[in-house]
Amino acid sequence: MVMTPNQPILLVEDSPEDYETTVRSLQKAGLKNPIVRCVDGDDALDYLHKRGEYSEPHSAPRPGIVLLDLNLPGTDGREVLEEVKQDPLLKTIPIIVLTTSSDERDIEECYQLGANSYIQKPVDLDGFVKSMSRMKDYWFEVVILPKETTMS
């Protein structure tokens, strides 16, 4: 079951360079879905809870997956992960941690908190493109993603 092409990917990334690289890699991989960017943890939580600047109806469509950086200014990625995975309405959304950290404590903590996957950002561009292409292939062509059942 393929993800509907209008379900956005939510990319939570403070670094403009990493954001650009991720978007380019996903587009190179043939991703058709829109990519929405949140620049920090608070922005991401506002988006997911449809509040603040995202309170207008249809301004924050539910993402198919979230790509979450860990080290963010303010509310960091771990806190976003914990909050989403404890929220009965949001916890079904797959969260893929995408970070430079390969610290075993981060890996363990993220899986403990309910991360669906943990991906280390490859340092070279070629590696990044390959990694995003296989991530996209798995989540968009192999997996059944959750869907909101209450609203159409």
H or E element, residue 65: strand 65-68
Binds other proteins by CB under 8 A, chosen from 24, 28, 50, 147: 147
Nearest to 35 by CA among 47, 46, 23, 49: 23
Closest CA to 119 of 34, 18, 20: 18
* 134 makes contact with other proteins (CB under 8 A): yes
54 DSSP assignment: G
Q: Which residues pair with 107 in a beta bridge?
A: none
Q: Note whether 104 binds other proteins by CB under 8 A.
A: yes
Q: Which of these ranges, 35-43, 45-53, 68-76, 143-151, lies near other proteins under the rule CB under 8 A?
A: 143-151
Question: Could you say whether residue 88 binds other proteins (CB under 8 A)?
Answer: yes
Question: What is the distance between the alpha carbons of residues 126 and 148, in angstroms, rounded to a whole number?
Answer: 35
Q: Does 4 help bind other proteins (rule: CB under 8 A)? A: no
According to the binding rule CB under 8 A, does residue 71 interact with other proteins?
no
Residue 112 makes contact with other proteins by CB under 8 A = yes
- CB-CB contact of 45 with 72 (8 Å): no
Nearer to other proteins, 51 or 134 (CB): 134
For other proteins, the binding residues (CB under 8 A) are 1, 88, 91-94, 102, 104-105, 107-108, 111-112, 114, 116-120, 131, 134-135, 137-139, 141-147, 149
